[in-house]
Amino acid sequence: MGSMVRKANTNASTENWHLLLQVFSCLDGPSLGRATCACKAWREVGVQEDLWQQICRAKWPSLDSNAGSCVVKQAGGYRRLFARRFQAQHAQHRSDEEKPCLSLQSLIFLVDVTVGNEVLCSFVRRGHELSGGEVFQFTVSLCDGEVVGKGREVEKIEALRNVKVSWAVMVMGSDRVFQVMDSIKAGQVIGGGCSFWEALADHRCCCAPGMSQHLAEVGLGLGVNGGLQEVSLALLNTLDWRYFSIAHALTYFQHLFFG
């Protein structure tokens, strides 16, 4: 008798599972995402990749290709890809619509580049010294007092074995500090310099929690004598590989500093 009850319960559970699957297949992405938060049983059904594959390919037909399959694999599956793109889309809209209270002039940038115990450069720049176009990408030409390792050979810097890049941001009138980058990872050598990238701290204004798709970028430009000549600073959106606008970057910093 007990085995018959268990079998009946199993059949009922299987039937409910398939019924939920049919219902969920009629939902759009946001609705399905909310449904998976209702209870454990709904989540077990709602996270099925087949459901999210159907939603993603309907919304973005380009995913139904070899290149699209590679993108899905890199993102960790259709469900994670939808979450990333949906959140990024709405975050971009928020940042475009919301006017940040911070200004570029209110920010202070602190950058240090070292190799072991030797300082290649160390400088502080205020935002008004970096202002230019509408894109958050700046190139800082170094002064004599900011360059220590002028005599280093290019080959040693290009090896990038022990190069450490530290980039922090402060707001004038506040004692808060945000560490944008603190990297000892090898960068990519490009022409007469190299670039370092590090994932930005997650924030709801830019990306879904745990799914950061934005990078901080620091580039090191070398002079003809092998010394460090300039440093570039930027924030990068990896969904479309474009640099943040000034407004988007200021909104991001504003949320990080003041919530």
pLDDT category, 255, cuts 50, 70, 90?
confident
Last residue of a domain, one of 63, 97, 131: 97
Question: In which element (H, E) is residue 13 found?
Answer: helix 2-24
Distance, CA of 83 to CA of 60 (rounded, Å): 13
* Same domain? 11 vs 83: yes
Range of the domain at 52: 2-97
Same domain? For 66 and 182 the reply is: no
Round to the nearest angstrom and report the end-to-end CA distance of the chain.
Answer: 60
pLDDT digits (tens, 9 = 90+) for 71-123: 888 888 888 888 877 766 655 445 444 565 788 888 999 888 887 777 778 88
Q: Which of 66, 81, 97 is the last residue of a domain?
A: 97
Count: domains in the chain: 2
Q: Nearest 5°: CA angle at 171, between 170 and 174?
A: 100
Q: Please give the average per-residue pLDDT across 225-251, as a whole number.
A: 80
Contacts of 181 (CB under 8 A, 6+ apart): 165, 166, 167, 196, 198, 216, 218
The reply to whether 37 and 159 lie within a common domain is: no
| Rounded mean pLDDT, 215-240 | 79
* Contacts by 9-18, CB closer than 8 A, 24 or more apart: 16/41, 17/44, 17/45
Same domain for 216 and 117: yes
pLDDT for 168? 92
Residue 239 and residue 212 share a domain? yes
Residue-level pLDDT at 233: 92
- What tokens were used for 137? 């990408």
Each residue of 151-199: pLDDT tens digit?
444 444 545 556 788 999 998 877 788 899 887 665 555 566 778 888 8
Closest by alpha carbon to 198, among 209, 211, 182, 210? 182
Query: Residue 83 maps to which CATH number?
Result: 1.20.1280
Do 92 and 115 meet the contact criterion of CB atoms below 8 Å apart?
A: no
More confident residue, 73 or 208: 73
18-69 pLDDT per residue, tens: 888 888 889 888 888 878 777 778 888 888 999 999 988 888 878 888 888 8
More confident residue, 6 or 251: 251
Query: What's the pLDDT score for residue 69?
Result: 86
Regarding predicted confidence, which is higher, 7 or 63? 63
What is the layout of strands, in order, in the sheet containing 107-115? 118-126, 107-115, 163-171, 177-183
Residue 254 has pLDDT above 60, yes or no: yes
